[in-house]
Amino acid sequence: MLDKGMPRILVTPLSALEDAILQHRPSHVVSLLSPNHMIETPAGFPPPRHLRLGVNDIVDPAAGDAPPMRAHIDQLLEFSRGWDGGAPFLIHCWAGISRSMASAFTVLCDRLGPDREMEIAMAMRRRAPHANPNRLLVAHADEALGRGGRMVSAVRAMGSPLMVEEGVATAFPLVNL
């Protein structure tokens, strides 16, 4: 579901990144990919507006290399706070299901303020049945934003996602979730 003409966060898989940039003309792009598979800034896109976070999609820090860390969330929040909402804020990971959805959830919670975590999570589920936000990224975001576990609980309440190999481009407006 793509809403045009209003401030929005757009989540895509890597395979849709080039088309999304051409079609939606985002002002900012966030790439969440394995450090070993990180992409360069897309041609023609300003490098200062491309945040590249080398992080693997794992939920147990002991389960592999480059797990999501609090520092990743701190970088995401600092970067997103420089976005004025005039053009889309595009977030992608490999499949557009886990790391990117956790990051979109984080930016939405930050932008829309406390006590809206459940509303945001349920809107995410409606708009993206495939969303499966990375729980470790969400836990770090919950801590960074001082939400006292509400973000973690809201993501848990989303229930099981629709199982797909790759997500589809999904827009999350900052109004009328």
CATH number at residue 128: 3.90.190.10
**Residue 164: inside a domain:** yes
**Tens digit of pLDDT at every position of the chain (177 positions):** 455 567 999 999 999 999 999 999 999 999 999 999 999 999 999 999 999 999 999 998 888 899 999 999 999 999 999 999 999 999 999 999 999 999 999 999 999 999 999 999 999 999 999 999 999 999 999 999 999 999 999 999 999 999 999 999 999 999 887
* Residue 159, in any domain of the structure: yes
Which residue in 125, 14, 81 sits closest to 133, CA to CA?
Answer: 125
Residue 149 placed within a domain: yes
76 falls within a domain: yes
Q: Quick check: 135 and 128 in contact, CB under 8 A? A: no
The reply to whether 33 falls in a domain is: yes
Sign, Cα dihedral of 98, 17, 44, 85 = negative
pLDDT tens-digit series, residues 75-109: 999 999 999 999 999 999 999 999 999 999 999 99
* Phi, psi dihedral angles at 40 (to 5 degrees): -80, 165
Which phi and psi (to 5°) does residue 57 adopt? -90, 75
- Provide the domain count of the chain: 1
Asked if the structure places residue 112 within a domain, the reply is yes
176 domain-assigned? no
By three-state DSSP, how is residue 37 classified?
A: helix
- What is the pTM (predicted TM-score) of this model? 0.95
Q: What is the pLDDT of residue 5?
A: 63
Domain that holds residue 34: 8-171
At 44, phi and psi to the nearest 5? Answer: 85, -5
In a domain, 1, yes or no: no
Contact (Cβ atoms closer than 8 angstroms) between residue 30 and residue 90 = yes
In angstroms, the CA 115 to CA 30 distance is: 25
Taking CA atoms, 142 is separated from 6, 25, 74, 115, 121, in Å, by: 26, 30, 11, 12, 13
